[in-house]
Amino acid sequence: MNEPVTPLREVRESIDHAARIAQRETSGIELIAISKTHGVDAIRPLIAEGQRVFGENRVQEAQEKWPALREEYPDLVLHLVGQLQSNKAEDAVALFDCIHSLDRPSLVSALGKAMAKAGRQVPCFVQVNIGDEDQKGGCAIADVPALLEAAREADIPVIGLMCVPPLGIEAAPFFALLAKIAQENGLDQLSMGMSGDFETAILLGATHVRVGSALFGARD
Ligand SMILES: *Cc1c(COP(=O)(O)O)cnc(C)c1O
């Protein structure tokens, strides 16, 4: 009997398809299910289907939803994909397994201290303001090398670069640019691609895709 077609299966099949075209292994592409705004009732069916890697964009919301689930499922992996205030650095280090929004010197300093204090090195992506947008988080492209150097000095393990391209225009050039900046800086992980463009991101080298609405439905 065929298994039912669920959003998770459809997204996984799209990932497999893009990986095949790109001649990449699916195992090199992490699907992060972005569950922001959705309650535990919406998260449980994905866990039941085998999904273990999730992402949230707010520390406080994650603190309300995840500690109980993590006790139940010790193999859950939780990523922070939203802007992080320095005064939440200790909470973020305690709760998350990976942080995608390292984007400024003050946060390097706060996270460095929080990791040292907790004795817990949380892998981070440096978020790049790839479309040079005023309102967006992320480090300016020109400032990436200095921020990476500061993170090294603070003993923060930076594993790659992350971006959220400008809305409403073709994302591919921005994904390609992020890949180029990562390569120039000796980084091999790329957090890029969301519900509307994760296949494109995979063709351009994404190692982590952050998919919300394609899995959970539209947010209010
Ligand atoms: C919400 C969010 C996503 C997921 O967006 P969808 O379009 O719902 O897939 C990915 N990355 C970040 C940083 C987000 O805030």
Can you tell me the mean pLDDT for 154-177?
A: 98
pLDDT of 1 higher than 60: no
Which tens digits make up the pLDDT trace of 48-87? 999 999 999 999 999 999 999 999 999 999 999 999 999 9
What are the residue ranges spanned by the domains of the chain? 7-18+29-216
With a 6 Å cutoff on the Cβ, whether 36 touches ligand 1 is: yes
Report how far ligand 1's centroid is from the alpha carbon of 168 (Å): 14
* Percentage of the chain modeled with pLDDT above 90: 96
0.85 surpassed by pTM:
yes
**Best mutation site among 34, 37, 133, 164 for ligand 1 pocket (most ligand atoms within 8 Å of CB):** 34
Distance separating alpha carbons of residues 52 and 39, to the nearest angstrom: 16
pLDDT-derived band at 220, boundaries 50, 70, 90? confident
Which tens digits make up the pLDDT trace of 121-133? 999 999 999 999 9
pLDDT of 11 higher than 70: yes
With a 6 Å cutoff on the Cβ, whether 162 touches ligand 1 is: no
Q: What's the confidence (pLDDT) of residue 174?
A: 98
| Mean pLDDT over the full length of the chain | 97
Q: What's the confidence (pLDDT) of residue 4?
A: 78
Report how far ligand 1's centroid is from the alpha carbon of 194 (Å): 6
Report how far ligand 1's centroid is from the alpha carbon of 1 (Å): 34
pLDDT of 3 higher than 80: no
Report how far ligand 1's centroid is from the alpha carbon of 34 (Å): 6
With a 6 Å cutoff on the Cβ, whether 81 touches ligand 1 is: yes
With a 6 Å cutoff on the Cβ, whether 57 touches ligand 1 is: yes
Q: What's the confidence (pLDDT) of residue 88?
A: 98
Which tens digits make up the pLDDT trace of 33-45? 999 999 999 999 9
| Type of residue numbered 219 | R
Q: What's the confidence (pLDDT) of residue 54?
A: 98
CATH number of 7-18+29-216: 3.20.20.10
